[in-house]
Amino acid sequence: MSVEFFKYKGVNFYKNILYSEEALNFAENEFQVLDDDVYIVTYPKSGTNWMIEILSLLRTNGDPTWSKSIPIWLRSPWYESIEGQSQIKDVVSPRVLTSHLPFHIFAKSYFTSKAKIIYIIRNPKDIVVSLFYFNKMICIYKDPQSFPELLEDFLQGNLLYNSWFDHVKGWMQMKDSINFFYITYEELHTNIRNSVIRICKFLGKDLDDSQIDLVVKHSSFNAMKENKMSNYTMINQDFMDQNKGSFIRKGITGDWKNHFTIAQNDYFDEVYKEKMKDLNVNFFWEQS
Ligand code: A3P
């Protein structure tokens, strides 16, 4: 299977069963966003599936029956992928859809709609670590030869969906829009209950305390790891090799400290500082 990239409007995509020029063109130019849609938008490995689980549970007021009976990728299809586009027709409104697209190629119809976006941002050092393990187990992506090689590709933006820095800077242009909400993976970790309450407020959902407790309980790392509809163990082995790792892997903040050398950390900080210097938002991992 090919692991070469092709470019769509300057962004890297794999030439594989997930992506095609036609599907990306459709996603950008023809896809009809509905006013009551909610989009979970992330750079890969930022906590996308965690948010899908949270929103699935919000939909059912905390009842896990739906999350435990329908695979996560059908609950919130990945709208720019070939398969996701074929799955969307079965999604009942209000739809929750997922995307990793950078800002400049996101669905044009979004920008004239009332649809909402939840954008999750994660400490990029932890994203590199998470990507490293994920790319080893996913069979249709390039296998990382080594951690230093992946780190360099990450800093150069030479990866699927290009640069994390550009992704974040692109989407943060929306930060003052009333239909755009951003939250960090680290905030979800530090205070999941409060995060769920903030998400409810953004979505106009009114859950009582016990329903919020259920959302928190059933979207926890352990609950998702146990839920075969959410842990990707049901997926075809030719797509994700479960012998090489787990999709719901470690779920912690700061795992980069177990992987980066001092020199790699200094180098990363230098690139980060330069690339993020114009963004007037301080993420709290910057203090640690
Ligand atoms: P790690 O590899 O660091 O463990 P995405 O869904 O965007 O691909 O992100 C995957 C990352 O989110 C993985 O990180 C995964 O373990 C973590 N994750 C998934 N569900 C989680 C949960 N309920 N709580 C915390 N982390 C979770």
- Spacing, Cα 283 to ligand 1 middle (Å): 19
Q: Full-prediction pTM beyond 0.90?
A: yes
pLDDT given for residue 1 in this prediction? 47
- DSSP H/E element including 243: none
pLDDT per residue of the chain (288 residues) written in tens, 0 to 9: 447 899 999 999 998 899 999 999 999 999 999 999 999 999 999 999 999 999 999 999 999 999 999 999 999 999 999 999 999 999 999 999 999 999 999 999 999 999 999 999 999 999 999 999 999 999 888 888 899 999 999 999 999 999 999 999 999 999 999 999 999 999 999 999 999 999 999 999 999 999 999 999 999 999 999 999 999 999 988 889 999 999 999 999 999 999 999 999 999 999 999 999 999 888 877 765
ipTM of the complex: 0.99
Q: Is the CB of 221 under 6 A from ligand 1?
A: yes
- Spacing, Cα 179 to ligand 1 middle (Å): 25
Least Cα distance to 27 among 67, 79, 87 occurs for 79
Q: Is the CB of 45 under 6 A from ligand 1?
A: yes
Strands 116-121, 96-99: pairing kind:
unpaired
- Spacing, Cα 89 to ligand 1 middle (Å): 27
To test the pocket of ligand 1, the residue of 50, 73, 246, 285 to mutate (highest count of ligand atoms within 8 Å of its CB) is: 50
Q: Which atom of ligand 1 is nearest to the CA of 230?
A: 20
Q: Are 129 and 255 in contact (CB under 8 A)?
A: yes
Residue whose CA is at the smallest distance from ligand 1 atom 5: 45
Q: State phi, psi for 256 to the nearest 5 degrees.
A: -55, -30
CA torsion 122→127→133→139, rounded to 10°?
90
To test the pocket of ligand 1, the residue of 167, 221, 235 to mutate (highest count of ligand atoms within 8 Å of its CB) is: 221
Contacts of 22 (CB under 8 A, 6+ apart): none
Is 100 one of the catalytic residues? yes
